[in-house]
Structures are given as C-alpha cells and as structure tokens.
Amino acid sequence: MHAKSLDSLCIYYLWRFKSNEAMEYDFRKIEKEWREFWAENKTFKAEDFSDKPKYYVLDMFPYPSGAGLHVGHPLGYIASDIFARYKRLQGYNVLHPMGYDSFGLPAEQYAIQTGQHPEKTTKENIARYRGQMDKIGFSFDWDREVRTSSPEYYKWTQWIFKQLFDCWYDKDADKAARIAELVATFEAQGNANVNAEHDFEGTFTAEEWKAMSEKEQSSVLMSYRLTYLADSWVNWCPALGTVLANDEVVNGVSERGGHPVEQKLMRQWSMRIKAYAERLLTGLETIDWTDSIKDQQRNWIGKSQGASVRFKVDFDSAQSTDHEIEVFTTRPDTIFGVSFMVLAPEHPLVDQITTEEFAADVAEYKRQASLKSERDRQSDVKNITGQNTGAFAVHPFTGEKVQIWIGDYVLASYGTGAVMAVPCGDQRDWDFAKHFGIEIINIFEDIDISEGAYAEKDAMIANSDFLNGLPAKKAIKTAIHEIEKRGFGKGKTQYRLRDAVFSRQRYWGEPFPVYYKDEVPHLVPDEDLPITLPEVDKYLPTEDGEPPLARADKSAWNYQKGDRMEFNTMPGWAGSSWYFLRYMDPDNQSEFVAKEKVDYWQNVDLYIGGSEHATGHLLYARFWTKFLYDLGYIPFEEPFQKMINQGMILGRSSIIYRVSIDMKVDEKRVDSGSQLKPVFVSLRRKDSFTKEDYIRYLSKHYNDYPFSTDMLIGEIDFTPIHVDISFVENDVLDTEACRHWRPEFAYAIFAPEDDGKFLCGHEVEKMSKSKYNVQTPDDLCDDFGADTLRMYEMFLGPLEQSKPWDTKGINGVHNFLRKLWRLFHDKNNEVSLDEGTPSKDALKTLHKTIKKVGDDLERFSFNTGVSNFMICVNELTDQKCNNKHILEQLTILISPYAPHIAEELWVRLGNQAGTISYAKFPEFNEEHLVESSHEYPISFNGKMRFKLEFPLDMSKDQIEKEVLANENAQKWLEGKDPKKVIVVPGKIVNVVI
RNA sequence: GCGGGUGUGGUGAAAUUGGUAGACACGCUAGACUUAGGAUCUAGUGCCGCGAGGCGUGGGGGUUCGACUCCCUCCACCCGCACCA
C-alpha cells in the first residue's frame, strides 16, 4: 500500500467503507479488547482448591533468548492452550501456567561481550517473550509465573539441594533416607551392614567411625550423600570455560556452540542419580510418553544384567602378587570360552601386573592411548590396537592361564574397566584375537565361528564342563549359580547411567548454599537462604582459573560464615527439575510448595514440549520428583503423566537463481561476468534459459554495448541465492522490494515468466537468520489476527510431525473465520439471528461436528479439528443457517481454538462477557444423526462402481435382490452370475464375479 | 550396526474398528459480479485416455469378498544411540 498514490488510497478506503468490508470481522479491535478483558478480570486464574476435578496442562517453559519467539515456539503452546480451554469447558479446574527458564549461557555470553548484567538482558528478553505470548491469546494464569533466576524461586532450588546433601540412598528400603539415620548406624555398627548406593571403599567398625576426625567423617559421608563433592572425571570445555554434563556433550563437542571437550579431573558437585537408575527405568512403564523418548531414556540408563567375576592374577607371572581382576559380563555362560583378558589402558592394575619384559611397550601404549581424545577413540573403531602385559590370569573354573592384554576398546569408565574376552561369542573380542593371533575357543554346539563371532543367545553350550548341552538362557543362570557357589563372583546388574556433574564454572546460575571451613563444605542454614548472586567486576574466570564468583569479595555475598563460599553455580537443569511444583504455590515463603496444594494438583496431566530434552531435563526432573516423593513432600513419583512432543517447524526459504557463466568482454568495459549487472531467472524459465536469452537481457540493459554469444565461455549455470521471505508471496518475488533490500540487487536484471511474474524456488530447512526464512508470530498476528494464527498452526498437520512453515494456506483459515462471522451477521454487519427451532439439517451438522471435534481433542488431533469446523461452517452456510441455538453451541465448540472471535460472538449472541471460558462443552446427541436410509456404495470385486440408496432396516437378502436387479449392475455383471454377494448393513455391498 | 518414526495428488494433508482413497485447505483452470480487490459466488481439478475405460497410497509378494490400514520382504528419508563387555 505504501507504493500507492494518495489518490488511490482515497478510493481504496472509500471502497472499503462503502462495501462495509472494513467493518466486517475486525479482528484487530476484537482481539485487543478481549485480551484486555481477560487480563483485567483474571479470567484464567486457577483456584487452588475446588470441588471440581483438577487438570494440569503444562508447556516446557522457554529460555528467553534475545531472538524472541519464532513461529515454531507457539506451536506447542497453542495446542496446550486449546486443550486447557477444552478441559475448562468440561468442568475441570485447570492449572495452565507459564514461566521462564531464565538462567543460562547465552545471557552470560552476552554479558561477557557487553559488560551488561545478565539480569538486565534477561529481564528485557522476558518482556519481549511476554509481549509476544500475550498477542496470541493464551489462557495462562500469569499470577503463577515463575523465573528460575529470581531469588524467591532459587531459594527453593537451593533448599532442595540441601535435602539431597542431607540424604543417602538406602537400597534395602529402596528409597532416600536422612543422613542422620546413616550416622546412627555407623555409630552403632559401622558400615559393614549398610546397603547403600555409595562409592566408599572398605569397611569400618563403630569404634573406627567414632575415632575419626570431623573432617574424616565428613569425607566418608560424602561417599554416601545424594549430592556430593568429589574429584571426578568431567567433560571440560575450555572454550566455554566450564564443565558439561554428559547430555550436554554430543559427539565429543559441546551441544551449544560445538566446542571441543576434554576429560579433566576436577573437584565437583555431583548428583547420585545412579541410585535411582532402576526406578527411573521401571517408572517409564507407568507413564504415557512416546516409545521413542522412553527408549532414549532406557538407552541412557543402559541396564545390563550378568555377573561380576574375579580372575586371580597368576602368581608366577606377575611382578607383584595377590591381585584380582574383576570383570563384568552379560554372558557368564560363555566363561569357558575365555582365552584372554583385556584391561583398559587406564586400569589401575596395569602397572602392577605388567612384566618387566613388556613394561616399555605397555608404557608406550598407555602414552599413545592417553593422547587420543574420547572422540578419536570413538571414531577409530576399526583400527584394532592392544598390548600384551606379559601377565596371566587364572581361569577360575579350568585353572588355565590366560594372557592379560590392554586395549583401548575397553573403556575405563564402564563396568570395572576390564573384560574377560570370549572371542567366539563377541565380535570385538574375535577381531582382537584374530589380529593378535590369540586362540579362539569354540563353546557353541554346531556353530561355525571361523568367519566371525556368534553373539546370538540361541546356541547350545558345549565344551564347557557343567554347562554342556544347556541353552544360553539356562546356562547363564547355572553359571551365575556356580560362580556364586564357588565364591569368585556374583550375579550383578550394571547401569551405564553415570552420576551427573552438578557444578558449572559460570556466573549466571544458582549459587550453592554452601560455604567452606578448612576446605570442608558446610550448608547454609535454611533461615539464611537464598544465597544470592554477588556482584562481580567481570563475568569471566579469575586469572587462577577460578569460576567468576571467585571475583566477588566476601562482603559482596549475603552470607559470610566460614573461609569462603562455593564458587561454582548450579547447571541449567537445576531450576527446571522442579518448576512444575512451584506453579502450584508460587508465592509460598516458607515451603517450596505447600503439601495441601500439591496434594490437590498432583502431577502434570499433560506436558507438551520438544523431544530434544529426552535425556536431560526429562530425566533429571523425574529423578528429583522421586527424591521429593521419598521424603514425603509430594504424593507422586512421576512428574509428567502424559507427554506430547511437538514437531519442529521448518522454514521455507525462498531462492532466486543467478546466471553464472564466464564471459570475455572488452577490458575497458568489464573484466568478467561478475561485474556485469547480475541476471536472475524466474524458476520455470531456468531450464530453458539459453545463452541467447542471457545476451538478450544484457543487451537490453546495456544499450550501447554489442554483447554476443561468442563472448560466453562454457555452459550457463545458476547460483541459488536466498532472498528474504518478506519480499515473496506465493513464491512470487517483489523485485522492487528486493532491489531496495541490498546493494547487490539494486541493479539486478530479473527475467520473469511470460506473465511478468518472477517466481522463486524454495528449500525447506531450519529457520535461521542467515537464510532469511524466519517467521515471527508477531507479523502474522498483526496481519491476520491471533485466532487465524492459532488455527493455522494447528491446521498445518499432526502436532508431533515436523513440517515446513508455509504461509500460503493462511488465507484459507482467515477466510474461514470471516465465513464464520458472516453466519451471525447480515450484509450490513448487523447481528441477525433466528431464535426459532433449529432445522433438522442444522442439528445434524452441529452434532456431527460436536462428535468429531470432541473425538479429535481427545486424541490430540488438532488439525482435523480445524477441518471439521470448516466443514461445519460450509454446511451451515449452504443451509443459510443463522439459528441462535446452533450458532451458540458452535461458538462454545470453537472457543478453545479461536478464543477471541468466540468471546465476541458469544456476547453478540446475548451472553455475559467472559463466561464462555467456563461454559459447558456441547453434548453430543446421537439422535440427530440417525438416518432411515443409507446410500450404499456398490462395488464389484472390491471396486466401487455406483451407489444405491436403501432403507437401513432392509434385510441383506432384499438388498442383494435389489442390487442384482439394478440395470447398472447388469452392465457390470456382463451377463455372468455373481459368485458371491457381500452385504454389510449400513456400510457397503460387494459383488464378487 | 541397533532402536524409534515417516513415506498418499502440483502442495499441507484426511481416511478413528479392514468397507466409497484423496475429506478440509492451498494452488491451478474456466466463468459470474466486479474493475486500483489479501473480497464473494459458480463449475472443474489424482494420473493416463477423445471416449468406454484403465491405473493409482515408496517397490515386490501374501492374507481377505474387500487392504493406505493386517503379515512377509526390500528401498528411501528423518531422529536417537553406537566399542556399554
């Protein structure tokens, strides 16, 4: 419109005014008014206690980044909002909150670059997010908003940390218990009979315990606490200056930024999540998540069952004696197939058992292995390396001596860092044995292992003493039984899940409620929480490599006991592991959540978010939930009962094609083709575009220069170039806008289609700034309205599927809402309703829609819901229906999807403002759909040929007779007798010829 | 390699228990009303064929009166895991 003259503007508005177009469905006015109404009246405030049943709908809360929301973010929020509104209509007391996961790296990186406090940028970003979300008309109860970075919130994150510190895992009771209980046990009987998840080595008596100093006792207890300080191998990312959790490292580089990660031994806080491995696994069976996410978690936890077996190191061969190598195996049934042992190069026994003869080689191998990064070791799988130690182990059953090797295919960090090698049953062992010429013993009956190992569990065991003739499954049990009986091992379950590192060397995160006295950590008492973030001069590590918090003066902290505070901060997942609980009671000053409130609200009924948090947030939140359950603070063990993972919305980039060909021209004029005005060719002309065409276009724009095809060298090629999608509509490029966009297009020559339009190609890819394909919801809200955006995002396809964003269809949805509006209004945009009895047809349309839309909501099929509304409005328009009863019901039905227009129409129908959100969801009455006859599709050999209408109460025989008598049927029978006629009453007739 | 998912017109898709494949929408074609349009209405639009008709849900096979739907097998793409003993 900006390009139009003043004159034309006047005519434009005159026309709009005259035709009343401007007054029709004025979404800008309607949506603004209703949003204000909802905010003022707190329409969506959830009551903490109610006679109504509760329903908790939660979205994964966003990290408020500087880029704002793009159209992919609201997809899940819209779906959950529709569902929340639906549940309100069904009479539920709905908890539907929103907040911000506002601690995190990007704000801190920005702070480092600009010196601005991350709190400032975080607040600005939150304001932007809030503004964007408000535009879409979500029914959030904003009074419950939480921000993980606010001290009122992280006070309780710190408090939960303290509870974890104050607990240990009692394996007998299979739950967390207070440390005081453990101390009492130690005082009474030492640690010998304590069955705990721990990493304390050795035993002590009650007397020995009592004799320990406070520092010694503290150190022992650390090995039992559910969060503990320990020197552990961590993923250190030098570029980010911090450690990362396993789930934050992907293929050996950091998930954020892709920086290299190395292993480093550091004193860090860790979470003893291992204690919950089994419950995290079994709990999956009680929740309604996708198999994909459950499998990812199962995989991450990595349970394997088998036996741990101790092999004695042979007395004569080893340098020192009395050593045992403990291995874990899932196939104890193959123990007679062991022909060597392999230790990880880092295994602590390596140096002690290596013979003099091999010492130099072993040292060299270890050195080389240590140089390889985790990543190299992972990618270099095919290259078989290893080194004999010269030592031998004694086979516990046969007493035979087997060689002990080291090899980097054995991981120090899994199991015991040592394996018993069974080359006949394990391909890696087989490869290793072949490569180094070690004996391969076959212990399977009638199995050929000359070409490779046999890893299946369906063979009979042979050559194995007491296991002979047993199938694998039985043999495993028998072997474990025998191993335990003879006392050199026992059945064991091993988990791949590691304890989670909980310290980050960053500024913008929760401070620990911990201070140190003589390097012994102490907890800050509850009454002094929260420990707030101190001010620092820079957000960088100190010169000594201490975390940024070490820059803070003692006086800058709001707590000053001991020698110093903890300088690390908590990781991003700390705050997000329990935020769903705080929404229930966001302002509570004395508890993280009141017991009565969590007893009422219980866990999240429906959780919607991306699947990318499968092994991070979703696992940690389950862990903390189980822990809080163990302590009796909350009444459930799983935080998120049902989860839906929305698909990613991909961008649709627009691409134009630049002619690329070398050209020889007069040096005075231009040196090469690249300095000529670029020529862009419309999509459909691309394939037929010739050198002559190119020359023609050039000549037209350089009147005075004699171009000819002789100057062209080689063949014409096209370079695809991304253009900003804001200049493109329905793949047609606004070439003038494009010229003004960037200098390189200013003098471009565009070769359009025959109709003068310039068509772009397109590419479906992730939305990104550099591809000029980012769509923000803001523009669409302004242009079409929030209701259109909401319905369109749903209309795009199934929620779980990832799909390209394409605004082409948005007009269709917008027009649908206009059509809906017209049902209620006459030509002058006055409300016009028939208050009489609805027609049979209208009732049928309505109830068909009630049924379908209701079913669609129940199975989260939001896209078909929109289609059904369209069908309904199309039918009612055809029927010229403006019946008040029908339209009122339809308005309620559509209100979860398009709440603004529904509110407006609701009032126009004569109802009280704001009451539609708590109206009653229309009840389906089958009576209106009852038909007396059915139009039967008549098929021949399964192919539908024509239709015939018969009464529904007509008998099968009668229908068969009628069908065969029909002249149309005679044609298809071609005079033959049908072999069989299938009549399915109310469905179909199939004639078999 | 293992696990999960997807595959249907020019496009996004629908088909809920095996029963009319392509609803709904975009786009496109023709027309009406208009004539500076993000408007409305009518008709058409899976492919091949003038037509009768034939073909058609990634490919091949099977079960069935009847298969997008169930079974076997192969292929392509996406996601996750990957020396886990």
Cis peptide bond upstream of A530, omega within 30: yes
Could you please report the per-residue DSSP string of A408-430? TTS-TTSTTSEEEE-TTT-HHHH
Is A167 a domain residue?
Answer: no
Spatial CA neighbour of A804 closest among A856, A744, A764:
A764
A767-780 pLDDT, tens digit each = 777 778 777 888 88
Q: Does some domain include residue A234?
A: no
Instruction: Say yes or no: A792 and A883 in one domain.
Output: yes
Specify burial of residue A809 (Cβ count, 10 A radius: 0-12, 13-18, 19+): exposed
CA of A295 to C1' of B71 (A): 25
Residues 6+ apart with CB under 8 A from A727: A654, A733, A734, A737, A738, A741
Position A316 scores a pLDDT of 64
Which nucleotide minimizes the distance between its C1' and the CA of A818?
Answer: B39
Q: How confident is the model at residue A827 (pLDDT cuts 50, 70, 90)?
A: confident
Min mean pLDDT across A669-673, A886-890, A982-986 is at A669-673
Nearest nt to the CA of A615 via C1' is: B80
Each residue's pLDDT tens digit, A573-593 = 999 999 999 999 999 999 999
CA of A113 to C1' of B62 (A): 66
Identify whether A436 is part of a domain: yes
Burial class (CB in 10 A: 0-12, 13-18, 19+), A161: buried
Helix locations, A372-470, DSSP H = 374-379, 427-436
What is the rounded CA–CA span in Å between residue A659 and residue A438? 64
Contacts 24+ apart (CB under 8 A), A195-203: A195/A170, A195/A171, A196/A168, A196/A169, A196/A170, A196/A171, A196/A224, A197/A168, A197/A169, A197/A171, A197/A272, A197/A274, A197/A275, A198/A168, A198/A169, A198/A223, A198/A224, A199/A223, A199/A230, A200/A224
Q: Would you say A548 and A539 are in contact if contact means Cβ atoms under 8 Å apart?
A: yes
Displacement of CA A822 from its chain's centroid (Å): 41
CATH of the domain at A815: 1.10.730.10
- CATH number of the domain residue A487 falls in: 3.90.740.10
Tokens of A97: 């909150």
CA distance linking residue A126 with residue A62, whole number of Å: 10
Confidence (pLDDT) at A395: 94
A7 CA: nearest nucleotide by C1': B36
Percentage above 70 pLDDT, chain A:
94
Quote the Cα angle for A556-A562-A567, to 5°. Answer: 55
Q: Which of A645, A662, A678 is the last residue of a domain?
A: A645
The DSSP output letter for A834 is B
Highest mean pLDDT out of A315-319, A523-527, A653-657, A732-736? A523-527
d(CA A74, CA A98): 12
The candidate with the shortest Cα–Cα distance to A785, out of A22, A28, A74, A25, is A28
A640, part of any domain: yes
**Amino acid of residue A615:** T
* Backbone φ, ψ for residue A702 (5° rounding): -130, 75
**Token duo for residue A927:** 């009576």
Å between CA of A292 and C1' of B79: 9
Which nucleotides of chain B does any protein CB come within 7 A of? 3-6, 11-16, 19-21, 23-28, 36-41, 65-67, 78-85
pLDDT per position as a tens digit, A512-551: 999 999 889 999 999 999 999 999 998 988 888 889 999 9
The pLDDT of residue A782 is above 60: yes
Estimate in Å the CA A948 to C1' B42 gap, whole number.
Answer: 28
What pLDDT band is residue A255 in, cutting at 50, 70 and 90? confident
| Nearest residue to A890 (alpha-carbon basis) of A929, A828, A838, A930 | A838
A706 and A791 in a single domain? The answer is: no
Do residues A838 and A875 touch, judged by C-beta distance below 8 A? no
Residue A651, token pair as written in the block = 């961008």
> Do both A592 and A714 map to the same domain?
no
User: Domain end: A593, A628, A645, which one?
Assistant: A645
- In A54-172, which ranges are continuous DSSP H helix? 73-89, 105-114, 118-136, 151-165
Residue A5 in this model has a pLDDT that exceeds 50: no
Residue A465 lies in a domain: yes
> Domain for residue A935, yes or no?
yes
Estimate in Å the CA A864 to C1' B14 gap, whole number: 8
Are residue A761 and residue A784 in the same domain, yes or no?
no
Domain-located, residue A950: yes
**Can you tell me which residue has its alpha carbon closest to the C1' of nucleotide B81?**
A299
**Cα(A989)–Cα(A234) distance, integer angstroms:** 69
Q: How far apart are the first and last CA of chain A?
A: 65
Nearest nucleotide to A24 (CA to C1') is B39
Residue type, A61: F
Is A838 in the same domain as A849? Answer: yes
Instruction: Quickly give A8 CA vs B22 C1' distance in Å.
Output: 44
Question: pLDDT tens across A375-400, in order?
Answer: 666 666 677 889 999 999 999 999 99
> Using CA atoms, how far apart are residues A429 and A186, in angstroms rounded to an integer?
44
Same-domain status, A720 and A822: no
Strand order in the sheet with A640-645: A93-95, A54-59, A604-609, A640-645
> What is the rounded CA–CA span in Å between residue A264 and residue A250?
17
Helix (H, G, I), strand (E, B) or coil at A11: helix
Nucleotide nearest to A792 (CA to C1'): B25
Give the other-Cβ count within 10 Å of A154's Cβ: 27
Nearest nucleic acid nucleotide to A731, CA to C1' distance:
B27
Q: In whole angstroms, what is the distance from residue A608 CA to residue A77 CA?
A: 8
Confirm if A182 and A487 have CB atoms less than 8 A apart.
no
> Smallest Cα–C1' distance to nucleotide B79: which residue has it?
A292
Distance of alpha carbon A766 from alpha carbon A774, whole angstroms: 9
Beta-bridge partners for A503: none
- What is the full DSSP assignment across A176-224? EEEHHHHHHHHHHHTTTT--EE----S---HHHHHHS-HHHHHHHHHTT
**CA–C1' A162–B84 (A):** 33
Q: Is A308 exposed, middle or buried (0-12, 13-18, 19+ CB in 10 A)?
A: buried
DSSP 8-state assignment for residue A545: S
* Average of per-residue pLDDT values in chain A: 88
Domain of A612?
40-158+575-645
CA of A941 to C1' of B29 (A): 35
Distance CA A665, CA A676 (A): 10
Neighbours of A742 (CB within 10 A): 11
* CA closest to B3 C1', residue: A295
Cα A538 to Cα A269, A418, A468, A503, A578, distances in angstroms? 24, 46, 70, 20, 30
- Are A908 and A963 members of one domain? no
Nearest nt to the CA of A988 via C1' is B19
Tell me, yes or no, whether A716 lies in a domain: yes
- Contact of A773 with A656, CB cutoff 8 Å: no
By mean pLDDT, which of A285-294, A532-541, A733-742, A884-893 is the weakest? A733-742
Residue A682 — pLDDT band, cuts 50, 70, 90? Answer: confident
- Residue A623 tokens read as 């862990």
**Cα A100 from Cα A61, distance rounded (Å):** 5
Check whether residue A704 and residue A579 sit in a common domain: no
Half-sphere exposure of A50 (CA within 13 A, CB side): 15
**CATH code assigned at A579:** 3.40.50.620
Question: Residue A983 CA to nucleotide B55 C1', Å?
Answer: 27
Whole-number pLDDT of residue A155: 97
CATH number for the domain that contains residue A980: 3.10.20.590
How distant is C1' of B12 from CA of A797, in Å?
7
- Please name the residue whose C-alpha is nearest to the C1' of nucleotide B67: A942
For the stretch A81-118, pLDDT in tens is 999 999 999 999 999 999 999 999 889 988 888 889 99
> Which nucleotide is closest to the Cα of A15 by its C1'?
B37
Tell me which residue of A354, A335, A351, A328 sits closest to A411, measured CA to CA: A328
Distance A820 CA to B41 C1' (A): 17
Query: A550 near A534, Cβ under 8 Å?
Result: no
The number of CA neighbours under 13 Å toward the Cβ of A704 is: 1
* Mean pLDDT of all residues in A919-931: 93
Of A76-80, A553-557, A949-953, which gets the smallest average pLDDT?
A949-953
Tokens of A322: 């009395």
In whole angstroms, B47 C1' to A387 CA is: 66
Three-state DSSP at A644 gives: strand
Of A495, A526, A557, the last residue of a domain is: A495
User: How far apart, in whole angstroms, are the C-alpha atoms of residue A25 and residue A14?
Assistant: 18
Is A9 a residue whose pLDDT tops 60?
no
Distance A772 CA to B37 C1' (A): 29
Q: Which range, of A11-15, A246-250, A478-482, averages the lowest pLDDT?
A: A11-15
Which residue is listed with tokens 């911990």? Answer: A514
**Phi and psi based region of residue A837 (left: phi greater than 0; alpha: psi -120 to 50; beta: remaining):** beta
Residues A641 and A653 in one domain: no
A43-57, A154-168, A629-643, A686-700: which has the minimum mean pLDDT? Answer: A686-700
Kindly state whether residues A589 and A685 are assigned to the same domain: no
CA distances to A155, A371, A904, A908, A978 from A911, rounded to whole Å, are 46, 76, 10, 7, 61
Nucleotide nearest to A937 (CA to C1'): B20
Under the banding of pLDDT at 50, 70 and 90, the label for residue A974 is confident
Same domain, A840 and A972: no
Domain count along chain A: 5
Largest CA distance in chain A: 107
Q: In angstroms, how far is B38 C1' from A762 CA?
A: 22
Nucleotide with minimal C1' distance from the CA of A871 is B24
A990: nt with nearest C1' to CA: B65
The residue type of A307 is A
Asked if pLDDT for residue A954 goes beyond 50, the answer is yes
- For B6, nearest residue by CA–C1' is A801
* The pLDDT value given to residue A685: 79
Closest protein residue to B5 (Cα–C1'): A292
* A904 and A826 part of one domain: yes
Of the candidates A422, A424, A420, A421, the residue with the CA atom closest to the CA atom of residue A450? A424
Tokens of A164: 């974890």
d(CA A122, CA A125): 5
> Using CA atoms, how far apart are residues A798 and A867, in angstroms rounded to an integer?
12
d(CA A147, CA A162): 20
